[in-house]
Chain A
């Protein structure tokens, strides 16, 4: 029984990971078109990726956009979470729903909507435009992770700080913020990865000046299909995994101390 279950699990994982495995293998192929399995092996595609200025520039923009979006999404998420968790006010449920609404709307609908909103403001193909768009889809995640952390904070700990002389701002800085830091970090990382990875919405909003790595990849695929794309995909996967592992280590370490 247990063996069967393990077998099923293994097949499931294999099914999920198959595309990644194929991409990984293909990335070492020397032919100039995508085919499986490779006939001969080399790191040539990787060298080409790192020599491709368009990719490198887009990668840099994606990292910057991801970092800024991550930070702002965390800040907005913190403020919204404080309001939603700590204060009772009219329309709280409505705001709570609106914040999470992007979860429910298909990306393509969101993309068209954002384009229609940003276009008259002259924000298409600007950093502000793409960051605003990415904030729209990442804030729901930061609100979620931070709200979770915040709800787990015992109010009495904050009260104890206040009784012993901490002003409300000091309580926030010295007690609340450190206690929700796992939620802040998790939210920030998720926001970064989503922004870094986002293609659908970005395609509607950016063109040349602020093209991100995913849009650059998409554009590249329109004209050519060679193992460079596979190599680039492997690099991106490795970066995502590295970020997650690093954060897991960092937060994990902190909790262990």
Chain B
């Protein structure tokens, strides 16, 4: 219990006038120092969860605890949180340094200490020397780093980041990803990070919470989410997948059209109809385990990878193969592909 820094239990939010809850019975918890990515399609309730944790939105029901203590009675400004808003929400009438110093000032930190902390924070986000600038004189990326500094400098109990990288170009986004991760690692702050970019989530977070239409689909480490998705939604939202229907014939083995017997990982009773998933890039040429033969129906050469659609029996599969300078499969050719049993994931019962 003590290691649960933040815990959210059965959280529900139904906005006034809405027919369906925007956040529907969501529970999760974070140990101290963890970075959790909340991800899911637009409108699935990510921002709403962050705003409820910050206290900007009142939950319809459920509880939010910080260090085991219920926060519902604590007003927003006493929750000691840092938040990076999706649109930065910097104070336009203040300088960069004044923006960063704001939280410290609210906490009654003496002026000299404040200046020292602001200088350190500016340094941390590589904005040294820009402290006297107006917010309007900063580029988008600089504004974002200012917003991050503003929320980090107060050494908050919890850092909430709402799609902080959404307005940046690809290169700056990569840089900022590393920077945020590094800062979070160095300061050891617990953080919840909202994104709808799976790359961002996989590369930055200790754990991922995938949401769909207000519900939490699955929470786990990047590897668990990617390699062992528990629902078809998670499997298809994170990465691409081939979904197969089969019937379990023996423990860890199912009969799938086009494959014959396909060995997989997961608990399913013999005789059950199951849904299995294979990532396109986990298919390999040649007859390893779970090998099968099919006809190449379609092929696209993409430099690093070769994407082909293979038809085996009535089943069509996408396979992404690494390319090399030697002979590559061609359209119409018959190929033998295989996939390791641990790369065949049991998603659930067939629909």
Contacts and interface: CB of A to CB of B under 8 A. Distances in A.
Interface of A: 154, 156-157, 159-168, 170, 174-175, 178-179, 257
A50 to B, nearest CB: 42
Given A156-B85, A170-B106, A257-B134, A164 B90 contact: no
A166 B91 contact: no
A147 to B, nearest CB: 19
B324 interface: no
A165 B83 contact: no
Contact of A163 (B77, B87, B90, B107): B77
Nearest to B150: A164
A159 B92 contact: no
Given A164-B102, A175-B91, 14 more contacts: A157-B91, A160-B89, A160-B90, A160-B91, A161-B91, A163-B54, A163-B76, A166-B77, A166-B106, A167-B75, A167-B77, A170-B106, A174-B102, A179-B93
Contacts of A170: 77, 106
A178 to B, nearest CB: 5
B262 interface: no
A164 B85 contact: no
B161 interface: no
A164 B81 CA distance: 7
Contacts, number: 64
Which of B75, B77, B79, B150 neighbours the largest number of chain A CB atoms within 10 Å of its CB? B77
Contacts of A257: 134
A196 B76 CA distance: 45
Nearest to B55: A163
B229 interface: no
A168 B77 CA distance: 8
B348 interface: no
A227 B164 CA distance: 68
Nearest to B54: A163
10 contacts: A156-B85, A157-B89, A157-B92, A159-B89, A160-B83, A162-B76, A164-B77, A164-B83, A174-B102, A179-B93
A163 B91 contact: no
Contacts of A178: 93
A157 B154 contact: no
Interface residues of B, number: 27
Contacts of B150: 160, 164
Interface string B133-148: 0100000000000000
B7 interface: no
A163 B83 contact: yes
Given A160-B85, A170-B106, A257-B134, A165 B91 contact: no
A157 B82 CA distance: 14
Contacts of B106: 164-166, 170
A178 B92 CA distance: 10
B102 A159 contact: no
B93 A164 contact: no
B151 interface: yes
Given A163-B77, A165-B106, A257-B134, A179 B92 contact: yes
Contacts of B85: 156, 159-160
B56 interface: yes
A64 to B, nearest CB: 31
A56 to B, nearest CB: 40
A157 B147 CA distance: 11
A156 B89 contact: yes
B45 interface: no
A175 B99 CA distance: 11
A35 B90 CA distance: 61
A106 B196 CA distance: 57
A167 B55 CA distance: 13
B246 interface: no
Given A156-B87, A159-B56, A170-B106, A164 B92 contact: no
Contacts of A163: 54-56, 76-77, 79, 81-83
Nearest to A165: B106
Given A159-B56, A257-B134, A164 B89 contact: no
B103 A164 contact: yes
A165 B75 CA distance: 10
A37 to B, nearest CB: 52
A154 B87 CA distance: 10
A212 to B, nearest CB: 36
Interface string B229-244: 0000000000000000
A163 B76 CA distance: 6
A88 to B, nearest CB: 10
Interface string B62-85: 000000000000011111111101
A16 B87 CA distance: 47
